[in-house]
Amino acid sequence: MRRSVVLLVLLASLLPAAAEAQPRQGDVVPGSYIVTLTAGARPGAVAADHAARNGAVVDHVYRHAVRGYAARMSAAQARAVAADPRVAGVEQDRVVTTQVQSLPTGIDRVDGELSSAVAGDGTGTVNVDVAIIDTGIDVDHPDLNVVGGRNCVRGPNTYNDGHGHGTHVAGTVAAKDDGAGVVGVAPGARLWAVRVLDNRGSGTTSSVICGIDYVTANATEIEVANMSLGGSGGDSVCGGSDSYHNAICNSVGAGVTYAVAAGNSSADANSYRPATYEEVITVSALADFNGEPGGGGAATCRSDVDDTFADFSNYGSDVDLIAPGVCILSTWNDGGYNTISGTSMASPHVAGAAALYKANNPGATPAQVKTALQGAGNLNWNNVDDTDTTKEFLLNVDAF
């Protein structure tokens, strides 16, 4: 029987723009105006005339994209220019800023900027290969280093992302530290797009196993894999009748560390695969809105309480770590960026951490990576909303 596999995405919304230093984008530039002209008016001649008669100090003359000029002048001079019948319009100039790289709150919360890669300083890069077993990755995204992949979904034979989820996951793992967009936990790591979910974000166990099989075949290169997906199902033992679990067991045995999402059903993760499997690192979600411990951050893209267990997250003894998973900003399709929530967003923080650890400890086994990540975690979060009595260690990478 084929089991349905679904994405663990809860919500997509945009974060409000962060406050920027002055001058701010869109601010009016005092004493600076853009003048557009009517058809037939000669831009150079009109600009020179207005400079002579009205005192305009011309900075640019436009002849192609628009016809007109830009100049510095007073408001009274601008009104006089606007009265010229050759002028179609006069508008105030405005500030435009570069779209500089952002340090997402999740990267801040796990101390990515304090790791060996110093995420966010514009120089970090990590020499590790990570597979994103998901909807694929936007292979042309300028903030991602996609080096290869495999399509395991029926239809067009491409591992390019037709949904956006896999691209978002990839950015949290490894967005480049290049001064643009966002930065990941393991900046610039080589990404392998393993497409096992279709453009609707759904697939089958057989397609997921196809993806795991591909990763295992390339285990000499791929050190870490992320699976922000899941379906119903209980635990089993390696070597039993559960082909899904056997695939995971053999892939981990080949040296690949797996980070997986706990699930978004506010339920015990022991009823969800692959979250319930012992060989993986299962990750629940923390609600964090400001990248800082202690709570108090205002909710942004969805309602929750800062620095607490996310109200949607699965829980239980199968969970190994908790990581930020609410209102996470990351890469999106068509070279874009988006903010969404889910344990799907928590898991790639851990995959990125595993990549950092492997970069500095290339001989570490998956079990050793899990132990190291748990040992480096902290309990500096409020588990008031955690349904079980176990307080998971919060991911922290400052030691990696």
Active site amino acids: 134, 165, 344
H, E, C per residue of the chain: CCCEEEECCCEECCCCCCCCCCCCCCCEEEEEEEEEECCCCCHHHHHHHHHHHHCCEEEEEECCCCCEEEEECCHHHHHHHHCCCCEEEEEEEECCCCCECECCHHHHHCCHHHCCCCCCCCCCCCCCEEEEEECCECCCCCCCCEEEEEECCCCCCCCECCCCHHHHHHHHHHCCCCCECECCCCCCCEEEEEECECCCCEEEHHHHHHHHHHHHHCCCCCCEEEECEEEECCCCCCCCCCHHHHHHHHHHHCCCEEEEECCCCCCEHHHEECCCCCCCEEEEEEECCCCCCCCCCCCCCCCCCCCEECCCCCECCCCCEEEECCCEEEEECCCEEEEEECHHHHHHHHHHHHHHHHHHCCCCCHHHHHHHHHHHCECCCECCCCCCCCCCCECCCCCC
